[in-house]
Amino acid sequence: MLRMYKTLFCFLILINLTCLLSAQTKNKYAILDASADKINEKLIGWRRDFHEHPELGNHETRTAEIIAKHLRSLGMDVKTGIAVTGVVGILQGGGPGPVIALRADMDGLPVIERTPVAFASKVKTIYNGQEVGTMHACGHDSHMAILMAVAEVLSANKSQWKGTVKFIFQPAEEGVPADETGGAERMVKEGVLENPKVEVIFGLHINSQTEVGKITYRPGGTMAAVNDVKIIIKGRSAHGAYPWSSVDPIVVSAEIINNLQTIVSRNLNITQNPAVVSICSIQGGNRSNIIPEKVELWGTLRSFSSSDEKMLAERVRQIATLTAESAGATAEVTTPYSIHYPVTYNDPKLVARMLPSLERTAGDTNVVLKPPVTGGEDFSFYQQKVPGMFFFLGGMPKGGDPITAPSHHTPDFFIDESGFVLGVKAFCHLVVDYPTAGK
What separation in angstroms does the CA of 52 have from each of 87, 279, 328, 375, 406? Answer: 20, 32, 52, 25, 19
169: nearest Cα among 85, 104, 81: 104
Amino acid, single-letter form, for residue 196: P
Please tell me the number of Cα atoms within 13 Å of 371 on its side-chain side.
5
Are 379 and 101 contacting, i.e. CB atoms less than 8 angstroms apart? Answer: no
Distance of alpha carbon 272 from the chain centroid: 24
33: nearest Cα among 301, 257, 357, 256: 357
Query: Per the residue annotation, which of 55, 105, 107, 378 is the catalytic one?
Result: 107
107 catalytic per annotation: yes
Question: Which sign, positive or negative, has the C-alpha torsion 61, 387, 201, 54?
Answer: positive
* CA separation for the pair 376, 172 (Å, rounded): 13
* CA separation for the pair 21, 26 (Å, rounded): 9
Are 205 and 143 contacting, i.e. CB atoms less than 8 angstroms apart? Answer: yes
Beta strands in 236-293 (DSSP E): 238-239, 276-283, 290-291
* CA separation for the pair 69, 23 (Å, rounded): 36
Peptide bond into 356 cis (omega under 30): no
412 catalytic per annotation: no
Query: Per the residue annotation, which of 173, 199, 248, 378 is the catalytic one?
Result: 173
- In what helix (H) or strand (E) does residue 21 lie, and over which residues does it extend? helix 2-38
Catalytic residue numbers?
107, 173
